Amino acid sequence: NDTFPLHFDFTPSAAARADAEREAVLADPGFGRHFTDHMVSIEWTTEEGWHDAKVVPYGPLVLDPAASVFHYAQEIFEGIKAYRHADSSIWTFRADANGRRLQRSAARLALPELSVDDFVESLKQLVSVDRDWVPSAPETSLYLRPFMIATESFLGVRAAHRVGYYVIASPAGAYFPGGVEPVSIWLSTQYSRAGKGGTGAAKTGGNYAASLLPQEEAYANGCSQVLFLDSVDTTYIEELGGMNVVFVKRDGTLVTPASDSILEGITRDSILQLAEDRGHRVERRRVSLEEWREGVASGEIVEVFACGTAAVVVPIAELKGDGLSIVSPVAGPDSLTLSLRAELTDIQYGRRPDPHGWLTRL
Ligand code: PLP
Ligand code: COI
């Protein structure tokens, strides 16, 4: 009984920031520190389905302390960017893929599915009122964070009958302070991110909660991200706390872990597609830590990189762990890593044609 497509009401913010204040934020946005003037909110109940879609002033959500998201973490989210092109038009990238992934996450977390069209429309609605918040400096964007939470006040453990979906937006520069400088990664041996049959493939807060302690360990060891191994054999590479991993072999083959407990990254899928377009072989299969170690030692692996929406593509310089150090070759300016990164961002920013029809105008 959902209304489809949803119609969005709009209440303009009375506290919208003045031009000068906004421009100051956009001059140095950082990542995830500043938010725009508005947000999207849509309600769902078992009786009414999705309803009450609106764009409202950005501000606190008022929730009952018994709302089940606080107790049982029934929550999912997405991360997707809006890019300003040279002619000032604003575009997003593979929004349908993010919309489908939100549906898969919803299914795993027993949350209601939002249609892909309503998902894309929710992004359009927010960006259309907060257009001025999309920065224009090179490599900057407006990071959109759609999320869905269980808002029913009920302490029994079952899927909530009342749910909220929201979209907030945050102007973004580089995720890592060093930009595309190679990063060091910490191997977590004590902790797993996700288990067999768990929620690893869903984009749900609990996976990130589980990664925070090992992430602290990474920082303490001078690394910027944590790498997880599979929880069954603790042998195979899974992914980083917030990014996927790809290996480049000497013959130009790209290899990336296949696992049902990692997040299927849209950045990774796009990079691998661009590599295939260039004639590279792509292998999605299990990759052991040993294969990484031996590959680097023998010269079989020539580049290693991490990729995700927030951080785009960054070379991995070193994997460190207790008594472990695997130093990858330096990804120079003509590395495949940086060349694929440039091709991807050129498409996203409209600097070259979009052969796969990945862009949607917002
Ligand atoms: N893996 C994890 C755990 C992530 O949080 C992300 C980021 O969203 C990714 C991988 C990469 O996914 P995407 O490229 O779709 O952003
Ligand atoms: C993203 O890349 O969108 C993420 O959600 C990852 C997070 C580390 C910011």
Question: What share of the chain in percent tops pLDDT 70?
Answer: 99
What's the pLDDT band for 4 if we cut at 50, 70, 90?
confident
- Ligand 2 centroid to Cα of residue 268, in Å, is 13
Give the residue, by CA position, lying nearest to ligand 2 atom 6.
242
Q: Among the residues of 83-115, which ranges form H helices?
A: 95-108
- Using the predicted structure, report yes or no on whether residue 1 has a pLDDT greater than 50: no
- Ligand 2 centroid to Cα of residue 199, in Å, is 16
Give the residue, by CA position, lying nearest to ligand 1 atom 4.
242
Give the residue, by CA position, lying nearest to ligand 2 atom 3.
79
Of 159, 164, 161, nearest in space to 148 by CA: 164
Is residue 44 within 8 Å of 118, Cβ to Cβ?
A: no
- Ligand 2 centroid to Cα of residue 154, in Å, is 30
Residue type, 77: F
Mean pLDDT of 199-222: 97
Over residues 272-303, the pLDDT tens digits come to 999 999 999 999 999 999 999 999 999 999 99
Torsion of CA 234, 291, 175, 119, to 10 degrees: -70
Quote the pLDDT of residue 2. Answer: 59
Is residue 203 within 8 Å of 77, Cβ to Cβ?
A: yes
Mean pLDDT of 214-223: 96
Quote the pLDDT of residue 174. Answer: 79
Is residue 62 within 8 Å of 207, Cβ to Cβ?
A: no
Mean pLDDT of 36-53: 97
Identify any residues that bridge with 43 across adjacent strands, giving them in sequence order. 51, 164
Which region holds residue 118: left if phi is over 0, alpha if psi is between -120 and 50, else beta?
alpha
Whole-angstrom distance, CA of residue 185 vs CA of residue 227: 6
Over residues 91-104, the pLDDT tens digits come to 999 999 999 999 99
Over residues 226-253, the pLDDT tens digits come to 999 999 999 999 999 999 999 999 999 9
- 175 is written with which tokens? 């995720």
Is residue 154 within 8 Å of 68, Cβ to Cβ?
A: yes
Quote the pLDDT of residue 226. Answer: 96
- 72 is written with which tokens? 């049982």
Between 108-112, 261-265, 329-333, the lowest mean confidence (pLDDT) is in 329-333
- The dihedrals phi and psi of 294, each to the nearest 5 degrees, come to -70, -40
- Using the predicted structure, report yes or no on whether residue 129 has a pLDDT greater than 90: yes
Torsion of CA 120, 123, 125, 131, to 10 degrees: -140
- Using the predicted structure, report yes or no on whether residue 3 has a pLDDT greater than 80: no
Mean pLDDT of 306-323: 94
Q: Return mean pLDDT, the chain.
A: 96
Is residue 360 within 8 Å of 91, Cβ to Cβ?
A: yes
Burial zone of 100 (CB within 10 Å; 0-12 exposed, 13-18 middle, 19+ buried) = middle
Give the residue, by CA position, lying nearest to ligand 1 atom 5.
242
Question: What share of the chain in percent tops pLDDT 90?
Answer: 93
Q: How many residues are listed for the chain in this entry?
A: 362
- Residue whose CB lies within 8 A of the most ligand 2 atoms, among 175, 226, 227, for a mutation test: 175
Angle between helices 116-129 and 95-108 (to 10 degrees): 120
Q: Which ligand lies nearest to the CA atom of residue 268 in the structure?
A: 1
Over residues 176-206, the pLDDT tens digits come to 777 788 999 999 999 999 999 999 999 999 9
- Using the predicted structure, report yes or no on whether residue 123 has a pLDDT greater than 60: yes
- 263 is written with which tokens? 């997040």
Mean pLDDT of 75-93: 98
Q: Which residues surround ligand 2 with Cβ inside 6 Å?
A: 79, 242, 308-310
Q: Look at strands 237-240 and 324-327 and give their pairing.
A: unpaired
Whole-angstrom distance, CA of residue 284 vs CA of residue 259: 9
